[in-house]
């Protein structure tokens, strides 16, 4: 499913005297099937923006189109929208509440009105997708580790079979291993199912590694929307916005500034390694 914002603005507490304009005239097209990274400093408006995508927040002005249809049109089904656009909140494990892991993941499909059999089928499939070990299915979510609990929470959204999956800082608070396991699983899911994935992350390393394109927000506006390699060329501007390009990109840019003829648009360690081997002619680096 494609998502398009047209001059979308949002003001918290409008008319209260404590107004905060969180989004300023956002124009954006996220095509169907893309894996996009949404980044920006804390308070830049990322979480506010994505809550518009499944109708949790309603724009103060402007329009939002899902697959070309305005979600604000008369008669548009928000219920249907929420079943198609799955949103995994930040620290989603705080919202687990059922007695067992399996029951928790079945909650979404149950709300969709599916039969008990289908609920279970969906839940088992989703738990398998996120790599949750079978021996935990009958446990209480609270017996699991933080990383496992987060997987269960993600499975709960996947069990709805969304066509768009939005994850708000899914790796926050996880150790590096847990982080990459979860991101690898999301990347695999994207590849296998072709759903649109919107990964909200303030970590440029994560975005560089996984996203086809990235959106950079600052103070409620979209500043860049391009491939990571293109966006990271604006190192200084990004730093002014409190964002650091990936360390490896920064290293290559510093080498280039020091007169070593290496490419400056490399964003992954493996890409940089290849480039260094090329430049230094196979001498070990
Ligand atoms: P991000 O997710 O990028 O950290 P947010 O979308 O949470 O940014 O916040 C954008 C702006 O809106 C910030 O100025 C923040 O303080 C404000 N804001 C967020 N949530 C609320 C709320 N519930 N009420 C009032 N202001 C809010
Ligand atoms: Mg946020």
Sorted by where each begins, the domain ranges of the chain are: 246-285
**Residue of 43, 46, 201 to mutate, ligand 1, most atoms within 8 A of C-beta:** 43
**Residue of 11, 20, 87, 90 to mutate, ligand 1, most atoms within 8 A of C-beta:** 20
The ligand that comes nearest to the alpha carbon of residue 215 is 1
> Range with the lowest mean pLDDT among 15-19, 64-68, 218-222?
15-19
Indicate if the pLDDT at residue 63 is higher than 90: yes
CB atoms within 10 A of CB 174: 17
pLDDT value of residue 264: 85
CA-wise closest residue to 126 among 107, 145, 98, 99:
107
CB atoms within 10 A of CB 42: 8
Q: How far is the CA of 240 from the centre of ligand 2 (A)?
A: 19
The ligand that comes nearest to the alpha carbon of residue 24 is 1
The values of phi and psi at residue 65, to 5°, are -110, 130
Q: DSSP state, 265?
A: -
Model pLDDT for residues 177-222, shown as the tens digit of each residue: 888 889 999 999 999 999 999 999 988 888 988 999 999 999 999 9
Beta bridge partners of 214: 37, 226
Cα 28 to Cα 46: distance, rounded to the nearest angstrom: 13
Q: What mean pLDDT value characterizes the chain?
A: 93
Please give the span between the terminal C-alpha atoms of the chain, in angstroms, as a whole number: 44
The values of phi and psi at residue 115, to 5°, are -70, 160
**Residues within 6 Å of ligand 1 by CB:** 12-13, 20, 22, 40, 42-48
Crossing angle of helices 146-158/176-193, nearest 10°?
A: 20
Model pLDDT for residues 78-134, shown as the tens digit of each residue: 999 998 999 999 999 888 888 999 999 999 999 989 999 999 999 999 999 998 999
Sheet holding 35-40, edge to edge: 85-88, 164-168, 196-200, 35-40, 213-218, 221-226
pLDDT value of residue 178: 85
Q: Read out DSSP for 61-124?
A: EEEEEETTEETTSTT--HHHHHHHEEEE-SSGGGG--SSSHHHHHHHHHHHTT--HHHHHHHHH
The confidence band for 280, taking pLDDT boundaries of 50, 70 and 90, is: confident
CA-wise closest residue to 245 among 206, 191, 188:
206
What residue's CA is closest to ligand 1, atom 12? 22
CA-wise closest residue to 172 among 139, 195, 200:
200
Cα 121 to Cα 14: distance, rounded to the nearest angstrom: 44
Q: How far is the CA of 44 from the centre of ligand 1 (A)?
A: 8
What residue's CA is closest to ligand 1, atom 23? 12
pLDDT value of residue 52: 98
**Structure tokens, 55:** 């109708």
Longest Cα–Cα distance in the chain: 66
CA distances from 75 to 69, 70, 71 (A): 11, 10, 9
**Residue of 10, 12, 201 to mutate, ligand 1, most atoms within 8 A of C-beta:** 12
Q: Which atom of ligand 1 is nearest to the CA of 168?
A: 2
């Amino acid at each position: 499913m494609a998502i398009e914002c047209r001059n979308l603005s949002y003001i918290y507490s409008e008319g209260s005297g404590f107004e905060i304009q969180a989004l300023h005239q956002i124009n954006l097209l996220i095509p169907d099937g893309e894996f996009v990274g949404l980044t920006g400093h804390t308070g830049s408006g990322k979480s506010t923006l994505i809550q518009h995508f499944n109708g949790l927040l309603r724009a103060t002005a402007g329009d939002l189109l899902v697959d070309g249809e305005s979600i604000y049109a008369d008669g548009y089904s928000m219920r249907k929208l929420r079943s198609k656009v799955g949103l995994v909140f930040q620290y989603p494990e705080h919202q687990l509440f059922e007695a067992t892991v399996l029951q928790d993941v079945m909650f979404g499909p149950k709300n969709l009105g599916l039969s008990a059999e289908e609920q279970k089928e969906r839940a088992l499939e989703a738990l398998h997708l996120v790599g949750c070990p079978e021996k935990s299915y009958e446990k209480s979510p609270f017996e699991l580790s933080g990383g496992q609990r987060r997987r269960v929470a993600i499975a709960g959204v996947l069990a709805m079979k969304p066509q768009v999956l939005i994850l708000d800082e899914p790796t926050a608070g996880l150790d590096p291993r847990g982080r990459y396991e979860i991101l690898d699983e999301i990347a695999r899911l994207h590849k296998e199912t072709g759903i649109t994935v919107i990964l909200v992350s303030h970590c440029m390393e994560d975005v560089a590694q996984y996203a086809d394109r990235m959106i950079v927000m600052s103070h409620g506006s979209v500043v860049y929307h391009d491939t990571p390699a293109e966006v990271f060329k604006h190192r200084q501007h990004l730093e002014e916005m409190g964002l650091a390009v990936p360390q490896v990109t920064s290293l290559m840019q510093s080498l280039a500034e020091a007169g070593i003829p290496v490419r400056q648009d490399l964003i992954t360690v493996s890409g940089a390694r290849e480039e260094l081997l090329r430049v230094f002619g196979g001498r070990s680096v």
